[in-house]
């Protein structure tokens, strides 16, 4: 199974006993939308809802930090997601949050994980079926072992600020990167990590919400000044959209990429960390 699958492919695979479809929609807190309610109103047949707002380390003050292994395993098992399954994740969010779910599943050891190209938007635009309500599942067994090499912490990022040997890629909107917009979380300063590149995650998609591919995708990184030959760390507001450029790099065959899980919500709240404003 490829890492990016088409709506046509998924339509043909629906109902396969080893295939599990996951709705990983999440919204910013002030968006006025309820991801779980929207899922229950309509979702791809058989899809379960992965609550990314709940699947976090509640002991950490930064939002969306990876949960402990036992918590991730427990949540996956309760959703009927088990070892040996093939997972297809999608979303219906401007944050393209399925990339976060893809990264989390892979980081915790899942082998067969794909993103649905175009998400629910494209699926519905093509007139494909949806269903409402909750999906009843059988409890599964999911073995979670976190690949700690997939994650960058604040100390690691501090060590590569202004490094000529690494790239730091920020997936937030350019206005937030520049510090022109107030941060949505209290106590977080505006701006960005010094030396990072601004690559808004929306730049990696076509008008129909499908992923850019090949030369078009590579051109988006190039336009942001990103050297794809260097090891990369991706970042954003809280570690969700940081998974978008990470997945984009993956589509280009690049695997030496870490995700800064704390992202700006951690970095910008720490008075001791260096901060920059203005364009990249």
Sketch the domain layout of the chain as residue ranges. 4-146, 149-267
Cα–Cα distance for residue pair 97/100, rounded to 1 Å: 5
Which of 24, 56, 204, 236 does the annotation list as catalytic? 236
pTM score, two decimals? 0.97
CB neighbours of 151 closer than 8 A, spacing ≥ 6? Answer: 66, 107, 258, 259, 261
DSSP class of residue 276 equals B
Cα–Cα distance for residue pair 165/181, rounded to 1 Å: 30
Six token digits for residue 35:
């991801």
* Lookup result for tokens 């209290």: 186
CA dist 20 → 25, 43, 79, 280 (Å): 16, 13, 10, 40
Check if 236 is active-site: yes
**Do residues 260 and 245 touch, judged by C-beta distance below 8 A?**
no
**Do residues 82 and 74 touch, judged by C-beta distance below 8 A?**
no
pLDDT in 10s for each residue of the chain, 280 residues? 899 999 999 999 999 999 999 999 999 887 889 999 999 999 999 999 999 999 999 999 889 999 999 999 999 999 999 999 999 999 999 999 999 999 999 999 999 999 999 999 999 999 999 999 999 999 999 999 999 999 999 999 999 998 899 999 999 999 999 999 988 888 999 999 999 999 999 999 999 999 999 999 999 999 999 999 999 999 999 999 999 999 999 999 999 999 999 999 999 999 999 999 998 7
Q: Is 255 exposed, middle or buried (0-12, 13-18, 19+ CB in 10 A)?
A: exposed
**Do residues 237 and 173 touch, judged by C-beta distance below 8 A?**
no
Residue 87, φ and ψ in degrees, nearest 5: -110, 130
> Homologous superfamily of 149-267 in CATH?
Rhodanese-like domain (3.40.250.10)
pLDDT at residue 74, as a whole number = 97
Q: Say whether 149-267 and 4-146 share the same fold.
A: yes
CATH fold, domain 4-146, is Oxidized Rhodanese; domain 1 (3.40.250)
How does DSSP assign 120-168, residue by residue? HHHHHHTT---B-SPPP-----------GGGEE-HHHHHTTTT-TT-EE
């Amino acid at each position: 199974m490829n890492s990016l699958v088409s709506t046509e492919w998924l339509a043909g695979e629906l109902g396969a006993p080893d295939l599990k479809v996951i709705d990983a929609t999440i919204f910013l807190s002030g968006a006025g939308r309820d991801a779980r309610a929207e899922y229950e109103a309509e979702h791809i047949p058989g899809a379960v809802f992965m609550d990314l707002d709940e699947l976090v380390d509640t002991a950490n003050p930064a939002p969306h930090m990876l949960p402990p292994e036992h918590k991730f395993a427990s949540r996956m098992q309760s959703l009927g997601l088990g070892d040996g399954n093939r997972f297809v994740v999608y979303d219906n969010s401007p944050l393209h949050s399925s990339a976060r779910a893809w990264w989390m599943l892979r980081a915790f050891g899942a082998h067969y994980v794909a993103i649905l190209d175009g998400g629910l938007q494209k699926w519905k635009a093509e007139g494909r079926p949806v269903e409402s309500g909750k999906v009843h599942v059988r409890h599964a067994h999911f073995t979670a072992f976190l690949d700690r090499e997939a994650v960058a912490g604040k100390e690691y990022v501090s060590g590569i600020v202004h490094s000529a040997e690494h790239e730091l890629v920020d997936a937030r909107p350019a206005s937030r990167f520049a510090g022109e917009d107030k941060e949505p979380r209290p106590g977080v300063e505006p701006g960005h990590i010094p030396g990072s590149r601004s690559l808004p995650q929306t730049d990696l998609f076509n008008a129909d919400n499908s992923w850019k591919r090949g030369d078009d995708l590579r051109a988006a990184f190039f336009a942001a000044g990103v050297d794809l030959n260097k090891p990369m760390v991706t970042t954003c507001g809280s570690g969700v959209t940081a998974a978008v450029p990470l997945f984009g790099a993956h589509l280009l065959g690049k695997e030496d990429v870490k995700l800064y899980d704390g992202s700006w919500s951690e970095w910008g709240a720490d008075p001791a960390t260096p901060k920059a404003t203005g364009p990249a």
